[in-house]
């Protein structure tokens, strides 16, 4: 059995990963070693069997004794530990949720239902760094990767509606707190059916503007509003989140020829953990919708194509419907007025599952199955 070290398993992505690994019986196939940056020596997580005390995540001997390491500890840990381990001659497989290694020459961005051949080529070439993609990019490709592979995409714009979880656990809490403040500001008026809606709105607007909402983590009110900037300002009109669409997207796909332009705006909305995206796809040729549907539905087992009808859409193509599942819902598929080679669609996916944890555990499975 391979010895597999897990670092950062207590955080949000790490917890989802451990949950999924338990559900899929992954722990029965490995000898897990749990590391901690803060509590070495304490008891490990409940995985249905004894795990022994936690190892120190700074203990390079203990780390290097693992054939595979999976880190959900974040980019700072990767920056601090990965180069030292490699410099010391460690030749194990490093599977990482964080971004620092994603665009490095020696790394492969992992999203096997979309880029299994890229991963296989990486394995054949002796690659050892396997990095999860940005959640928005991964979810977009889980939805539409099959159209790229069919050579049908000339360019794509993606307009995102990103959940609080993408920013972090504290932000999820803050969103709910803000919602509570918003409700509290007008609670008495809401109890009175005769109260004036403009009075209710004035109270809500005041609550958003007068500092009564906690905004320590987001910096601004999100509840009742939205935030059309995610991650750093790159100084060229792009947010860092937007920059990743084209760069990471093309790297994941690994298509021959020039990169396909993938570009758009990223927006934070008050959803908990599902990222949604509206896309405009310029097809390389006019394509009937039935053919588009056929290609999408056969992409992989987690695709759920939702008919472009009101009832089905509102029941099945929402964060409420998709959250906590591995489903990649795709719907609102129709041509645009610009012509039969212009397609629009909407997709929803859980950013903690296919957007973060799931590609990591599947890479682990791939490695231990070899």
Residue 341 structure tokens: 């080679």
Nearer to ligand HSE, 152 or 357 (CB): 357
Helix or strand holding residue 155 (H, E):
strand 153-161
Nearer to ligand HSE, 44 or 246 (CB): 246
190 in Cβ contact with 180 (< 8 Å): no
Q: Which residues contact 358 (CB under 8 A, 6 or more apart)?
A: 20, 326
Binding site for ligand HSE (CB under 6 A): 134-136, 162, 166-167, 230-231, 241
- Radius of gyration of the chain, Cα coordinates, nearest whole angstrom: 22
Least Cβ distance, residue 163 to ligand HSE (angstroms): 7
Least Cβ distance, residue 67 to ligand HSE (angstroms): 27
Catalytic residue flag (residue 72): no
Least Cβ distance, residue 244 to ligand HSE (angstroms): 8
Catalytic residue flag (residue 66): no
Nearer to ligand HSE, 135 or 253 (CB): 135
The string of DSSP letters for 60-126 reads HHHHHT-SEEEE-S-HHHHHHHHHHHHHTT--SEEEESSSTTTTSTTEEEE-HHHHHHHHHHHHHTT
How far is Cα 62 from Cα 92, in angstroms, rounded to an integer? 13
CB atoms closer than 10 angstroms to residue 127:
16
Nearer to ligand HSE, 146 or 351 (CB): 351
Nearer to ligand HSE, 20 or 33 (CB): 20
Nearest residue to the partner ligand HSE, using Cβ: 166
The string of DSSP letters for 307-330 reads PSSHHHHHHHSSHHHHTTS--EEE
Least Cβ distance, residue 295 to ligand HSE (angstroms): 26
279 in Cβ contact with 347 (< 8 Å): yes
| Catalytic one of 66, 135, 266, 274 | 135
| Catalytic one of 72, 93, 266, 275 | 275
In the DSSP assignment, the letter for residue 152 is: -
**Residues that are catalytic:** 135, 275
């Amino acid at each position: 059995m391979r010895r597999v070290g897990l670092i950062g398993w207590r955080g949000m992505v790490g917890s989802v990963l451990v949950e999924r690994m338990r559900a899929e019986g992954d722990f029965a196939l490995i000898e897990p070693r749990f590391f901690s940056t803060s509590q070495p020596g304490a008891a490990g997580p409940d995985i249905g069997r004894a795990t022994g005390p936690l190892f120190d995540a700074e203990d390079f001997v203990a780390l290097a004794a693992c054939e595979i390491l999976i880190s959900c500890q974040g980019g700072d840990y990767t920056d601090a530990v990965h180069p030292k381990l490699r410099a010391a001659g460690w030749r194990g497989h490093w599977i990482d949720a964080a971004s620092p290694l994603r665009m490095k020459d020696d790394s492969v961005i992992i999203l096997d239902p979309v880029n299994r051949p890229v991963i296989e080529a990486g394995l054949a070439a002796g690659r050892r760094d396997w990095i999860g993609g940005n959640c928005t990019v991964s979810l977009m490709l889980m939805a539409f990767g099959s159209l790229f592979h069919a050579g049908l995409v000339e360019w794509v714009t993606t307009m995102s509606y990103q959940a609080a979880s993408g920013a972090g656990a504290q932000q999820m809490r803050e969103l709910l707190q803000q919602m509570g403040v918003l409700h509290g500001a007008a609670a008495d008026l809401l109890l009175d059916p005769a109260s004036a809606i403009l009075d209710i709105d004035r109270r809500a607007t005041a609550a958003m503007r007068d500092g009564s909402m906690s905004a320590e983590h987001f910096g601004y009110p999100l509840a009742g509003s939205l935030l059309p900037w995610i991650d750093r300002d790159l100084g060229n009109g792009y947010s860092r989140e937007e920059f990743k669409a084209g760069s990471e997207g093309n790297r994941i796909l690994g298509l021959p020829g020039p990169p396909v332009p993938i570009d758009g705006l990223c927006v934070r909305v008050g959803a908990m953990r599902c990222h949604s995206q509206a896309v405009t796809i310029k097809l390389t040729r006019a394509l009937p919708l039935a053919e588009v549907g056929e290609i999408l539905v056969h992409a992989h087992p987690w695709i759920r194509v939702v008919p472009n009808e009101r009832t089905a859409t509102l029941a099945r193509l929402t964060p409420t419907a998709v959250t906590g599942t591995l489903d990649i819902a795709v719907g609102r598929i129709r041509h645009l007025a610009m012509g039969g080679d212009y397609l629009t669609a909407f997709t929803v996916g859980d950013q903690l599952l296919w957007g973060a944890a799931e590609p990591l555990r599947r890479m682990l499975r791939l490695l231990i199955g070899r």
